[in-house]
Structure formats: structure tokens, C-alpha cells
Amino acid sequence: MKIKSGIGFDAHRFAAGRKLIIGGVEIEHELGLDGHSDADVLIHAIVDAVAGPALGRDIGNLFPDTDKAYKDIDSKILLKKAVDEIRLAGYEISNVDAQIIAQKPKMAPHIPAMRKTLADVMGLEFDDITIKATTTEKMGFTGREEGIAALASALVFRRG
């Protein structure tokens, strides 16, 4: 069995008039994130982490922001399409481990719902998705509450 690892990173600035969606979960906050899609930084990082090793591509190659079909799209749809492509290529996802970097809002209360949502979308077990959250102690763009970032790592393996 061939096993590959992947990493992903994404960051978006805050924007007024948008919902804040992280890990497929809407979080109560006065600002959302700016982006072509719903700007779900966690899902975008996960797509890169799983698609990189399995498909040799990233989210920008799979779902370009120049394509109007992806304007304001729910990132769970993008994740499901990426997972389907990964499986068509003969790979399965073993697990995803992710980190959300945000000063505010607090992410910990939402992590169980994010894990369940992501596991359901990806067809994985709840325990195959781990998510942590941290602040940057008020340093950098996340610390100044200008936006949110996310990191993800994943293991994929070739079936058969």
C-alpha cells in the first residue's frame, strides 16, 4: 500500500456583510471572511492537504476563482467534489489533522460540529478528523483580528 502525506494552508481577511463559515459550520460573528466562495479557510486548507498528494493539484487548480460557477459556493460542495476525484484516482483518505488560527471568535465550542460535518462530507469516521484552534497572542494579521488562517495535514493511500 502506498501512503502519501499532504499539507494545506489558507487565510482570508474579514469582511462585512458575509457569514462566517469555518469547517462547514456557521459561527456567530459580526464579520465573515472575504473570498470567491464562502471563504471557509479550514475546508480550503483540507482540500489542499488531500488533493495535493492524491491528485498533484491544489484547490486553485481544481476550482479556479476565475470560474463564475464557484462564486459564493458552499465549500462543502468543493470538498465533496475533491474527495470524489481522489477516490476516482484510486486513493482513500486515512485522516485529516487541522489547526485554525484565529484571535476571535473562539473556535473550541464549534469544533465537534466541524468534525462531524467534515467527516460526513468526506465519508470518514468522526475520529479520523482532528481539529485544534489557537491564537497568535495578538501578533500578526490573525492576532490583530484582520482575518483567520488554517493549516491541515492529511494521509492518503492508494487502494489495492
Residue 103 labelled as part of a binding site: yes
Residue 99 labelled as part of a binding site: no
Residue 66 labelled as part of a binding site: yes
| Residue whose entry in the numeric block shows the C-alpha cell 476563482 | 65
**CA atoms of 39 and 83, how far apart (whole Å):** 18
Residue 57 labelled as part of a binding site: no
Residue 68 labelled as part of a binding site: no
Residue 64 labelled as part of a binding site: yes
Residue 12 labelled as part of a binding site: yes
Residue 32 labelled as part of a binding site: no
Residue 141 labelled as part of a binding site: yes
**CA atoms of 141 and 160, how far apart (whole Å):** 44
**CA atoms of 153 and 160, how far apart (whole Å):** 23
Residue 116 labelled as part of a binding site: no
Start-end of H helices in 1-55:
41-55
State whether residue 49 is helix, strand or coil.
helix
Residue 104 labelled as part of a binding site: yes
Residue 49 labelled as part of a binding site: no
Three cell numbers, residue 24: 462547514
Residue 137 labelled as part of a binding site: yes
Are 129 and 1 in contact by the 8 Å Cβ rule? The answer is no
Residue 94 labelled as part of a binding site: no
Residue 11 labelled as part of a binding site: yes
Closest CA to 62 of 48, 41, 73, 74: 48
Residue 9 labelled as part of a binding site: no
Residue 130 labelled as part of a binding site: no
Residue 135 labelled as part of a binding site: yes
Report the binding-site residues: 10-12, 36-37, 44, 58-60, 63-67, 102-108, 134-137, 141, 144
Report the binding-site residues for a divalent metal cation: 10, 12, 44
